[in-house]
């Protein structure tokens, strides 16, 4: 489920990057915008692991006071802007998903902002390992040119379906 959730958040983030308000973030963060968006997508999909429709005040508060600060190491150039970026991304997600939680999310972010800032400055704040990028993996074994064709014709792959695919 996490993979589908991760893909869903990636698509929503890509939609956010296509919006006019993302140009403000491009000017503000420059090349670091993509890294910040990737971090938010990872933490939303893997750490929070909830569909946008299921995120309520309590979950968002925990996300901001514990999960997101634990993923920030302190060296990110976008660290001070991440909460504002999250607010814009969540507003886009609410609009794209047709959710009526925009007001609740904005109020929660405003209410939790002081504890988020405090968590960022807390030296005892637990730090989670940075997100790892997992390479795309092939689901099936690779078919060699001289292997029997998987279509069942009895011919070698290079003489059957490989040839059809290249024509």
- Same-domain status, 99 and 157: no
- Same-domain status, 87 and 149: no
- Same-domain status, 108 and 40: yes
Q: For 57-100, what is each residue's pLDDT tens digit?
A: 999 888 888 888 888 877 888 888 999 999 999 999 999 999 89
Q: For 31-51, what is each residue's pLDDT tens digit?
A: 899 999 998 998 898 888 889
pLDDT of 129: 60
Q: Which is nearest to 131 in space by CA: 74, 68, 80, 78? A: 68
Q: For 92-139, what is each residue's pLDDT tens digit?
A: 999 999 989 889 999 999 999 998 888 887 766 666 665 566 666 766
The alpha carbon torsion through 12, 17, 20, 26 (nearest 10 deg) reads 150
Q: How far is CA 15 from the centre of its chain?
A: 12
What 3-state DSSP class applies to 166? helix
Residue 15 lies in a domain: yes
- Same-domain status, 30 and 101: yes
- Same-domain status, 44 and 84: yes
Q: Is 127 left (phi over 0), alpha (psi -120 to 50) or beta?
A: beta
Angle (deg, nearest 10), helices 2-17 and 82-97? 100
pLDDT of 1: 44
Residue 128 lies in a domain: no
- Same-domain status, 93 and 14: yes
What's the structural domain count of the chain? Answer: 2
- Same-domain status, 110 and 150: no
What b/e readout covers 60-81, taking b as 16+ CB neighbours within 10 angstroms? Answer: bbebbbbbbbbbbeeeeebeeb
Residue 74 lies in a domain: yes
- Same-domain status, 110 and 161: no
Q: Domain containing 67: what range?
A: 2-121
Tell me whether residue 44 is exposed, middle or buried, using C-beta atoms within 10 angstroms of its C-beta: 0 to 12, 13 to 18, 19 or more: buried
2, pLDDT greater than 60: no
Residue 111 lies in a domain: yes
- Same-domain status, 104 and 151: no
């Amino acid at each position: 489920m996490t993979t589908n959730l991760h893909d869903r958040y990636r698509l929503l983030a890509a939609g956010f990057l296509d919006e006019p308000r993302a140009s403000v973030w491009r000017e503000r963060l420059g090349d670091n915008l993509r890294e910040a968006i990737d971090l938010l997508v990872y933490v939303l999909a893997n750490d929070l692991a909830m569909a946008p429709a299921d995120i309520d005040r309590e979950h968002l508060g925990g996300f901001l006071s514990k999960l997101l600060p634990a993923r920030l190491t302190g060296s990110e150039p976008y660290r001070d802007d991440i909460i504002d970026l999250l607010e814009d991304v969540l507003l886009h997600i609410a609009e794209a998903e047709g959710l009526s939680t925009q007001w609740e999310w904005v109020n929660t972010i405003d209410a939790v902002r002081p504890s988020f800032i405090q968590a960022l400055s807390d030296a005892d704040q637990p730090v989670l390992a940075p997100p790892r990028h997992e390479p795309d993996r092939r689901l099936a074994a690779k078919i060699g040119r001289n292997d029997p064709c998987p279509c069942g014709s009895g011919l070698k792959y290079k003489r059957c379906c490989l040839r059809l695919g290249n024509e």
